[in-house]
Amino acid sequence: MSKTIKLEISGMTCDHCAVSIARSLENLPGVKAAVSFEEATAMVEAPEDIEAARLAAAVERAGYRAAVIGAGPATPEAPGPRGGDGGSLRVAIIGSGSAAFACAIRAAEEGARVTMIEAGTVGGTCVNVGCVPSKILLRAAHVAHTIAHHPFAGIGRSEPAIDRAAVAAQQAARVAELRRAKYEDIVAANPAIELMRGFARFAGPQTLLVERPDGPPLQLRPDRILIATGAAPFVPDIPGLENTPFWTSTEALEADAAPEHLVILGGSFVAAELAQAFRRLGSDVTMIARSTLLSRLDPELGGGLQEAFAAEGIQVITHTVPERITHDGGVFHITAGAETITADRLLLAAGRRPNTAPLNLAAASVAVDERGAVIVNERLETSAPGLYAAGDCTALPQFVYVAAAAGTQAAINMTGGDARLQLDVVPEVVFTDPQVAVVGIDEQEARERGIEAESRILPLEVVPRALANFETRGFIKLVAERSSGRLLGAQVLAAEGGEIIQSAALAIAAGMTIERLANQLFPYLTMVEGLKLAAQTFTRDVSQLSCCAG
């Protein structure tokens, strides 16, 4: 004998939800279920001995709520945030990068049901085509350079044999390993997070239409939405460029051969890192920068790095924009003024643009700036109620650690909390050799803010660890408020500068003065001790101190 039970379902946002509920119900022995998203009901044919509470529990296991129509709730309400229909809060996330995953994990911890929508490769920029592969490439290039150019007497130097294809294969394997461990496996292990393959765009306020590769389009109406679609390389409007086989950083990182001559358009972080990497892997490299090298930072940093590049044979052409670029089937021709530069590869590294144009944000009344970046407040809220944004698709600093922090803060706010993203102290690192690292503000920014500031520069040639390493190119610069001595900023050009800068960031966040920093205990011999010495230069000549003088 069997019986038919009609259930009222809450929490569904699309036809896919109905399929999930039907599958969960039919895992019970002898049960057949027809679930309707439009009617928010389930018609269940079940054996006589199955109680309605078991059916409701099966719906609950799928992440939804069920009540026998006319009989009241099937099970007591579970704890956690709830949507407008009384079920668990439903969160949809467009994208699967660092901001998206940080938001998904925190929202799930707060009791929400999360649907993450991804049209491409899971993991976003950082693990796939950004931080991880670029640092592998940079480290490989550093090792090759050290073999040929290390500074130590009595140890032989030689030009290394470089198999770029082997380096690229090892890099790809590590990227795949990290993508699986840190992204794909996390989704698979968390029943509150569902990964949906497809391209999402807005069909109206709080409504998404997802074009799926393996089924008809789905319409989602979640309680909260996070836009986390990242950014893509910017292609400048230069005549002829669009008809050439140029590289972006993605193709450069995946290339299995180093070009004989690589021209790079750009003078930013990515341009600088890849320029040095390819030079050290055997390519001739020419950089063409619209302004100066690292123009957004203190000029002494870009100038010092350019000197280091010149010593390695990297040509940097500044204040130049090509007038035309063509490709004859084998060689690029880059025309700039009276000069035409030829190269077998051209890399575009002139910045990135938010991936927002295809999202139909106007349908949801989401405001963007002139670049197409989603405008958010300190709570990561957009101009549309219930819609949030985080990561490189916004106007926030384009660093993975900022994206992850923003995703977490957005999730807290989505689920009833009140978190504010604090960006007062954001350390930045350019992973060249020497590294460029900054935090806080420089002298120009202090003047713009009306702060009377003073600065000191400590050459690395007076830092004991730099002397021991025979790596004295660079400096540490500190900026302080003149009246109070409060540390305002640090600019570093040094080997392992990225390992130095976080101590400066903590000092700024703690409101430390130069005097207090100068009196701190730093381990000897370390590069970070340079911060102490730089602080001491405000009141004394450190070149006249013994190595361990306090």
Mind telling me the catalytic residues?
12, 14, 17, 64, 126, 131, 547-548
| Angle, alpha carbons 36-82-85 (nearest 5°) | 40
Q: Are 141 and 277 in contact (CB under 8 A)?
A: yes
Chain mean position to CA 498:
17
Secondary structure of 288-332 as H, E, C letters: ECCCCCCCCCCHHHHHHHHHHHHHHCCEEECCCCCCEEEECCCCE
Number of neighbouring beta carbons within 10 Å of residue 413: 19
Nearest-angstrom CA–CA distance, 35 and 59: 11
Q: Are 9 and 65 in contact (CB under 8 A)?
A: yes
Closest C-alpha among 433, 437, 523, 503 to residue 471: 433
DSSP characters for 237-285?
Answer: --TTGGGS--B-HHHHHH-SS--SEEEEE--SHHHHHHHHHHHHTT-EE
Q: Are 253 and 130 in contact (CB under 8 A)?
A: no
Pairing of strands 324-327, 332-336: antiparallel
- Burial group, residue 336, by CB count within 10 angstroms (0-12, 13-18, 19+): middle
Number of neighbouring beta carbons within 10 Å of residue 197: 14
- The set of residues, in sequence order, having a beta carbon less than 8 Å from that of 149 and lying 6+ positions away, is 157
Secondary structure of 50-112 as H, E, C letters: CCHHHHHHHHHHCCCEEEECCCEECCCCCCCCECCCCCECEEEEECCCHHHHHHHHHHHHCCC
- Per DSSP, 482 falls in state T
Residues in the chain: 550
Could you give the 3-state DSSP secondary structure of residue 384?
coil
Q: Are 183 and 101 in contact (CB under 8 A)?
A: yes
Nearest-angstrom CA–CA distance, 127 and 98: 9
- Per DSSP, 542 falls in state G
